């Protein structure tokens, strides 16, 4: 354990060291981050200000937007600083904090996606009992449970990772302090730490995916029995957006974490990480909400109200 204090900071090598790409990448990621901030914080404000959006579906969406803002903010500003001012150094404690908040918010998103799938199930399969099934207290418990699981999961993984000794290289071959990228730098036996990571992540992923799979199995059965083409199209449209986001999110998570660190290709991991740290938080407001007629009406109502004040 004495060797652990020898490393007091890490150096994030980033996406690329090519000098000609630093400014273009800074511009690209700045735009992505601005769109993420405007989209997610704007969605939260829109849902808060319009009483017609005070429903379970939009309650989950507002929390999803908050989570997307959270884990994008945990990673992207440091990446931007690396491109602009070549600030690639991150302290030991800051690395642990970045890892903790990223893991916490990413796990919360995983369980929120499962909660949203259950909400869709209740809306499509039990429409007459929807208001009694998805009460305010039920929604609150699902969201609070997601946050508790997320921060508990982050505490386990971050604590487990930073009990390892770091006494050799401090060069993190990634653009943020991700678990596999930091673990490979340890000079102590990391077998148990990797096993804990794989087991806990596997449980979180497969539990959430099981809820999603069961919910959508019942939804598809219900949809196939529908006689109304309008109801059929509406249900399929709603499911398609959610399933697209679920596929991208869980696909990259499974690719990243359900394999030993010895089999990781850091260059491939970086590309996958860009999707779930930056692209998914940017796209979620569009995928889930901006195509929704109720959100469009609420936005136009707020826009015209501001213009006539």
Number of Cβ atoms within 10 Å of the Cβ of 25 = 19
Residue 307: Cβ-neighbour burial (10 angstroms; 0-12, 13-18, 19+): exposed
Phi-psi region of 86 (alpha: psi -120 to 50; beta: other; left: phi over 0): left
The pLDDT score that the predictor gives to residue 64 is 93
Quick: pLDDT tens for 45-96.
Answer: 888 888 888 889 889 989 999 999 998 999 999 999 888 887 789 998 999 9
Q: How many CA atoms lie within 13 A of 98 on its CB side?
A: 24
The pLDDT score that the predictor gives to residue 85 is 81
Q: Which helix (H) or strand (E) holds 163?
A: none
The pLDDT score that the predictor gives to residue 41 is 93
Beta bridge partners of 91: 9
Phi-psi region of 62 (alpha: psi -120 to 50; beta: other; left: phi over 0): alpha
Q: Which helix (H) or strand (E) holds 227?
A: none
Q: Are 164 and 124 in contact (CB under 8 A)?
A: no
Q: Are 176 and 12 in contact (CB under 8 A)?
A: yes
Eight-class DSSP state of 172: E
The pLDDT score that the predictor gives to residue 304 is 65
Q: Are 276 and 252 in contact (CB under 8 A)?
A: yes
Mind listing the pLDDT tens digit of every residue in the chain (309 residues)?
444 456 788 999 888 888 888 889 999 999 999 999 999 998 898 888 888 888 898 899 899 999 999 989 999 999 998 888 877 899 989 999 999 999 999 999 999 999 999 998 998 888 888 899 999 999 999 999 999 999 999 999 999 898 888 887 888 988 899 888 888 888 888 888 888 888 888 888 889 999 999 999 998 888 888 777 766 776 776 677 778 778 878 777 777 666 655 555 666 667 778 887 898 899 888 877 666 677 767 767 766 666 555
44 is written with which tokens? 């939260």
| Long-range contacts, 32-36 (Cβ 8 Å, 24+) | 32/76, 32/278, 32/279, 32/282, 33/72, 33/76, 33/77, 33/80, 33/278, 35/282, 36/68, 36/69, 36/72, 36/76, 36/278, 36/281, 36/282
Question: Which residues, including other chains, have CB under 8 Å from residue 270's CB and lie 6 or more apart?
Answer: 15, 174, 175
The pLDDT score that the predictor gives to residue 252 is 73
d(CA 46, CA 38): 11
List the one residue out of 130, 137, 75, 133 whose CA is nearest residue 100: 75
Residue 237: Cβ-neighbour burial (10 angstroms; 0-12, 13-18, 19+): exposed
With b for 16 or more beta-carbon neighbours within 10 A and e for fewer, the 158-179 pattern comes to bebbbebbbbeebebbbbbbbb
The pLDDT score that the predictor gives to residue 279 is 87
Q: What is the pTM of this model?
A: 0.87
The pLDDT score that the predictor gives to residue 262 is 56
Q: Which helix (H) or strand (E) holds 11?
A: strand 9-12
Question: Which residues, including other chains, have CB under 8 Å from residue 163's CB and lie 6 or more apart?
Answer: 4, 193
């Amino acid at each position: 354990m004495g060797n652990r204090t020898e490393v007091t900071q890490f150096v994030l090598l980033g996406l690329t060291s090519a000098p000609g790409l630093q400014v273009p990448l800074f511009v690209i990621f700045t735009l992505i981050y601005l769109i993420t901030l405007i989209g997610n914080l704007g969605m939260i404000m829109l849902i808060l200000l319009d009483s017609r959006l005070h429903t379970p579906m939009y309650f989950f969406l507002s929390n999803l937007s908050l989570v997307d803002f959270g884990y994008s903010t945990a990673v992207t500003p440091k990446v931007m600083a690396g491109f602009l001012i070549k600030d690639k150094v991150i302290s030991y404690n800051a690395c642990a904090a970045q890892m903790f908040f990223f893991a916490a918010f990413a796990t919360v998103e995983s369980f929120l996606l499962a909660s949203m799938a259950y909400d869709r199930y209740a809306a499509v399969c039990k429409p007459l009992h929807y208001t009694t099934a998805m009460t305010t207290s039920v929604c609150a418990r699902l969201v609070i449970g997601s946050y508790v699981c997320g921060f508990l999961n982050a505490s386990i993984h971050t604590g487990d990772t930073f009990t390892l000794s770091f006494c050799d290289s401090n060069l993190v071959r990634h653009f943020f302090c991700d678990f596999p990228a930091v673990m490979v730098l340890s000079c102590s036996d990391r077998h148990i730490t990797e096993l804990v990571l794989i087991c806990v992540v596997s449980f979180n992923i497969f539990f959430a995916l099981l809820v999603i799979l069961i919910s959508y199995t019942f939804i598809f059965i219900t949809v196939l029995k529908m006689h109304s083409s309008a109801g059929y199209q509406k249900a399929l449209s709603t499911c398609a957006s959610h399933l697209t986001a679920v596929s991208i999110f869980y696909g990259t998570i499974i690719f990243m974490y359900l394999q030993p660190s010895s089999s990781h290709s850091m260059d491939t991991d970086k590309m996958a990480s860009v999707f779930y740290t930056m692209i998914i938080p940017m796209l979620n407001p569009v995928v889930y909400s901006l195509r929704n007629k109720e959100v469009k009406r609420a936005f136009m109502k707020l826009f015209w109200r501001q213009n006539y004040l």
